[in-house]
Amino acid sequence: MTADFTKRLTETLLDRLEVLAWGHPRPLALHEPEFSGAEWDYVRDTLDSGWVSSAGSYVERFESQVAQACGVAHGVAVSNGTSALQVALHVAGVGADSEVLMPSLTFVATANAVSHTGATPHFVDVEKTTLGICPKALADRLDAIGERRSEGLFNRETGRRIAAIVPVHIFGHPVDVDGLMAVANSYDVPVVEDAAEGLGSLYKGRPCGSYGTISALSFNGNKILTTGGGGVVVTDNADLAKRVKHLTTTAKRPHAWDFEHDAIAWNYRLPNLNAALGCAQMEQLPDRLARKARLARRYAELFRDFDGAAVFSASPDCVPNNWLNAIVLDEERAGARDALLDATNSAGFHTRPIWRPMHSLTMYADHPRGDLSVTNEMVSRVICLPSSAHLADTHNGVPQS
Ligand SMILES: *Cc1c(COP(=O)(O)O)cnc(C)c1O
């Protein structure tokens, strides 16, 4: 009977996607970039002026647009979201001989950024409601391994200092921020937000990116807004922002002609060319969020009373940016995931599973971890659906607004 149900589930899923996609050309991408504002003008301006590279006025403008959207005082533009996270961790005090508590259920960049600081990712479980780090699992883990010493909190099993907690706002859905901050504050461990997917998402009316000591955003081509490739570090802390700027621009002391560098640093600058694109994209953020919200509502309607799965929806207190829409298969239907992915992709709908969890990848297989049963379960139940904003623009061929 399971095979019959899987067949029926596949047919209904394809039916609903056909309704959603009516009038839209195939294949239907998972998430397409969209350039419908001043992109050409601003990019042409960088070419006309010759300011295409690491200096130029669009960089500062983009930085302040992103900081403002995140409700914080400072933004520093960098080459991508991974480098943004790495530098944010570094200035927050993460480095060799330390550990960072983070979800296993995330894109590989989170764990890589932690590793590149010299620290060890330590995996904790997520909650079903947000797919983000579970405050209870985090507290349980800290109770089990944490040891308070005068120099800070240590993992008594490995002897390493626990230097940060990195929550990830999955698909633009905020984590349980209050729950997380209560645990982080009680153990006095700084929070570095991986807000790569969270631009424009709100928790209790406050934007993602504003909760951590420091946070990282991504403007990769598949994110809600894009600079082609790019990232921004945001923080309210002026000193941290200054250090991020210095360390991502080769740590050169300002001087008319001398080359004095005072640290081993990086060239993680965002070119002015990309920042120009970013300025035009940021001007479209309110419109993009409104259309993404409309698309999320359409998905909710289409999958109401859907037998075998439910739309992954916002938690109370949250207004997500709806970057990616997803369905969660009923627990007993998890076995149907791959058949559904095969059938939808063959039919021209680019659906995707959630990432393989970090602890299942060879390079992170032996890393410290708590119980990851929710992570393991949800991996087999989540399917991401085509989520480009333009899908909200027509309904049965009729323009929407
Ligand atoms: C996209 C993403 C990143 C990395 O951003 P890049 O700009 O691609 O380097 C990090 N974490 C998460 C959760 C992401 O989705």
Per-residue pLDDT of 237-269, as tens digits, reads 999 999 999 999 999 999 999 999 999 999 999
Is residue 211 within 8 A of residue 191, CB to CB? The reply is yes
Instruction: Answer yes or no: do 124 and 222 share one domain.
Output: yes
Among 247, 267, 282, the domain-final residue is 282
Instruction: Answer yes or no: do 54 and 146 share one domain.
Output: yes
Instruction: Answer yes or no: do 341 and 243 share one domain.
Output: no
Specify the residue with its C-alpha closest to ligand 1, atom 14: 196
Q: What is the pLDDT of residue 1?
A: 56
CATH number, position 312: 3.90.1150.10
Q: Which atom of ligand 1 is nearest to the CA of 109?
A: 10
Whether residue 145 is predicted with pLDDT greater than 90 in this model: the reply is: yes
Nearest to 178 by CA among 142, 204, 201: 204
Q: What average pLDDT does range 360-369 have in this prediction?
A: 98
Helical residues (DSSP H) of 117-176, grouped into ranges: 135-145
Regarding predicted confidence, which is higher, 22 or 326? Answer: 326
Q: What is the pLDDT of residue 157?
A: 97
Is residue 325 within 8 A of residue 391, CB to CB? The reply is no
For ligand 1, say whether the CB of 82 is within 6 Å of any of its atoms. Answer: yes
Ligand 1 centre and the CA of 213: distance in Å?
A: 19
Among 282, 317, 343, the domain-final residue is 282
Is residue 172 within 8 A of residue 387, CB to CB? The reply is no
Instruction: Answer yes or no: do 157 and 257 share one domain.
Output: yes
Here the tokens at position 3 are: 């095979």
* Domain total of the chain: 2
Q: What is the pLDDT of residues 177-186, one digit of tens each?
A: 999 999 999 9
Whether residue 289 is predicted with pLDDT greater than 70 in this model: the reply is: yes
Q: What average pLDDT does range 343-352 have in this prediction?
A: 97
Q: Which atom of ligand 1 is nearest to the CA of 222?
A: 1
Ligand 1 centre and the CA of 190: distance in Å?
A: 20
Instruction: Answer yes or no: do 21 and 67 share one domain.
Output: no
For ligand 1, say whether the CB of 107 is within 6 Å of any of its atoms. Answer: yes
Ligand 1 centre and the CA of 219: distance in Å?
A: 8
What pLDDT band is residue 281 in, cutting at 50, 70 and 90?
Answer: very high
Give the whole-angstrom CA distance, residue 353 versus residue 12: 18
For ligand 1, say whether the CB of 197 is within 6 Å of any of its atoms. Answer: yes
Instruction: Answer yes or no: do 249 and 203 share one domain.
Output: yes
Average pLDDT of the chain is 96
Among 251, 282, 313, the domain-final residue is 282
CATH number, position 154: 3.40.640.10
Give the whole-angstrom CA distance, residue 6 versus residue 131: 24
- Look at 13-27, 225-239, 277-291 and tell me which has the smallest mean pLDDT: 13-27
Ligand 1 centre and the CA of 195: distance in Å?
A: 9
What pLDDT band is residue 361 in, cutting at 50, 70 and 90?
Answer: very high
Instruction: Answer yes or no: do 262 and 351 share one domain.
Output: no
Pairing between β-strand 98-103 and β-strand 120-124 as defined by DSSP bridges = parallel
Specify the residue with its C-alpha closest to ligand 1, atom 6: 81
Instruction: Answer yes or no: do 183 and 149 share one domain.
Output: yes
What range does the domain containing 45 cover? 39-282
Instruction: Answer yes or no: do 9 and 59 share one domain.
Output: no
In the chain, what percentage of residues exceed pLDDT 70? 100
Give the whole-angstrom CA distance, residue 289 versus residue 286: 5
In the chain, what percentage of residues exceed pLDDT 90? 93
Specify the residue with its C-alpha closest to ligand 1, atom 5: 81
Bin 93: left if φ > 0, else alpha if -120 < ψ < 50, else beta.
left
Give the whole-angstrom CA distance, residue 360 versus residue 381: 16
Instruction: Answer yes or no: do 17 and 111 share one domain.
Output: no
Instruction: Answer yes or no: do 94 and 143 share one domain.
Output: yes
Instruction: Answer yes or no: do 71 and 91 share one domain.
Output: yes
Specify the residue with its C-alpha closest to ligand 1, atom 2: 196
Which residues, listed in sequence order, are joined to residue 309 by a DSSP beta bridge? 329
